[in-house]
A = this chain, B = another copy of it.
Amino acid sequence: MYPLNAWYVACTPQEIDDKPLGRRICQQPIVFYRAGDGAVTALEDFCPHRGAPLSLGQVIEGRLVCGYHGLAMGCSGKTISMPGQRVERFPTIRSYPVVERHGFVWVWPGDAALADADLIHPCPWADNPEWAYGGGLFHIGCDYRLMVDNLMDLTHETYVHATSIGQKEIDETPPETRVEGTEVITSRFMNDIDPPPFWRMALRGNHLPDDQRVDRWQICHFSPPSHVLIEVGVALAGKGGYHADAKYKASSIVVDFITPETDTSIWYFWGMARNFNARDKALTASIREGQGKIFSEDLEMLERQQQNLVHWPDRRLLKLNIDAGGVHARRVLEKLVAQERAAAEPTAAASA
């Protein structure tokens, strides 16, 4: 259950710099590579000759050449040539709309006619020297919605990430959730508290004292299909909190692009964009390492939660105020999938 008419992050540009990449997105095996002009191309990972995965091939002079018998595939899914063969009537394989933007490769696994690059989520930190970004990729064995739930309810930080970003005040401060169109926003403001270890590091990274009380905020923005961007930060207490002048705060955006691989597994692109001390590469590396460690603490919980839900498929989960972000996100998704299916009638159901 996921929208197909949507832009998902497929990979990072570096993953396809040297050779084609095969990755399953929304159940569909896809090969990503750079064609002759360097533009990213996405095709079914299936050679029309004998079904070999094209991702085991090579890009030669801008053409994807099958590693089995040398069929040269074109960007549109039409075979260009094959040694000794007339290829005009070879079956065309599916090509996918794909765009390289904001430091990611985005793919549209649904109806190509509806793909509009303007619908790609904005990433204001990208291509902006005032911002720095670092991130990574995890493969996790869970329904993508469990990951959305996780990110839209940060009370789990108190328990899962107790030694880094968790603190009791998160639990004690009820979040507020609102829906704006297809966006869901959950926010929490905690004033006059001690900063936890991760934020003390960030304060020092921004040349601010790390031993003073702070105001802390978390504003989670869900937008379909499965993007969660979280504004997080601390300001020295009493300086205006979220609205404090830049010189009193350390703030950043937690970036989460979640791509279903199958119904029970995901590619999870995580990262952090910050607009302080942006040129300090050591700080970027340090934050990235810390965040990777923190996010890895969620993996076992998510995978074991998934196993429990498979074991007890009929159990209803609670929908508390802290779950409101995830609950509303699921409603948005259900509506989108229902619309896709209705639009696909009477030809076929469009989504798995």
Interface assignment of A323: CB less than 8 Å from any CB of chain B: yes
Interface assignment of A174: CB less than 8 Å from any CB of chain B: yes
Asked if B172 contacts A83 (CB within 8 A), the reply is yes
Residues of chain B within 8 A (CB-CB) of A119 are none
Interface string of A25-62 (1 = CB under 8 A from B): 00001000000000000000110111111001100000
The number of residues on chain A lying at the interface, defined by a beta carbon within 8 Å of a beta carbon of chain B, is: 49
Count copies of this chain in the complex.
3
Interface string of A148-190 (1 = CB under 8 A from B): 0100010110111000000000011010000000000000000
Residues of chain B within 8 A (CB-CB) of A65 are 159
Asked if A308 contacts B155 (CB within 8 A), the reply is no
Interface of A is mostly: loop
Asked if A304 contacts B53 (CB within 8 A), the reply is yes
Binding stretch for chain B, among A67-75, A203-211, A219-227, A240-248: A67-75
Interface assignment of A122: CB less than 8 Å from any CB of chain B: no
Binding stretch for chain B, among A252-260, A278-286, A311-319, A341-349: A311-319
Asked if A83 contacts B51 (CB within 8 A), the reply is no
A46 to B, closest residue via Cβ = B308
CB-contact partner of A51 in B90, B309, B320, under 8 A: B309
